[in-house]
Amino acid sequence: MDQTRPQRDPLQALAHHVAGHAVMSFAVDCPAVSAAIDGPDDDPGYVLPGDSRKLTIRRRFLIALAGHQAETRFLGEAFGLHADLANERLAFDMLHVMREFEALGLRGMGASGLLRGQLGRILADLFGRPAVWDRVADVAGALLVRQRLPIAVLRTLIPAEVTALGVRLLDETRQPAGANVCAG
């Protein structure tokens, strides 16, 4: 192995992955009711988003993709060393979203190229802002110390400004009525 490449602790990567989900759940105004890095069996970490009435297709995808975005951003140059595990977690998250869609009777829902572009821009814009990325780091740090964070703790770590920014970005990227894309 190349010793000049930066190393990262896998538990820190997991904490950032889970923190990404948690921060995004607040950013899309569906605050997580809890987050943990000590999940059961094959689920080493999880976030339970709240207010399922607001969980539109775009919001579900953003929350799911945010874990991978935060983990890869945290890993930086070390991503190559951890890519298999990070991609495995991404696949798990996407499978979870697909199961949610099936439970809602939304089998075979495809995402248009336009929707994929919107999701990528929102993720990059949010996590590229220090005010948001610092919240991901705060939540990850708290997860490393406490293993589980209830909503009361998450609310102290993720300010309302993150929600306001996320909702604004959702509104800015929303398609006009009648556009041929999945509902946002």
Q: How far is CA 24 from CA 7, 33, 116, 125, in A?
A: 26, 13, 16, 12
Confidence band (pLDDT; 50, 70, 90) for 183? very low
- Least confident range from 43-47, 74-78, 134-138, 148-152: namely 43-47
User: What is the DSSP annotation of 69-137?
Assistant: HHHHHHHGGGHHHHHHHHHHHHHHHHHHHHHHHHHTT-TTPPPPHHHHHHHHHHHHHHHTSHHHHHHHH
The fold for domain 10-163 equals: Methane Monooxygenase Hydroxylase; Chain G, domain 1 (1.20.58)
Tens-digit pLDDT profile for residues 4-15: 545 677 788 889
Domain positions in the chain are 10-163
3-state DSSP assignment of residue 24 = helix
Cβ-based burial of 101 (10 A; exposed 0-12, middle 13-18, buried ≥19): middle
Distance CA 9, CA 156 (A): 26
What CA–CA distance (Å, rounded) separates 65 from 93? 8
In this prediction, residue 111 carries a pLDDT of: 52
For the stretch 59-100, pLDDT in tens is 888 888 888 888 888 887 766 655 666 666 666 666 666 667
CA dihedral 67, 68, 70, 72 (to 10 degrees): 160
Say what the pLDDT of residue 140 is.
95
pLDDT value for 125? 84
pTM over 0.85: no
Helix (H, G, I), strand (E, B) or coil at 35: strand
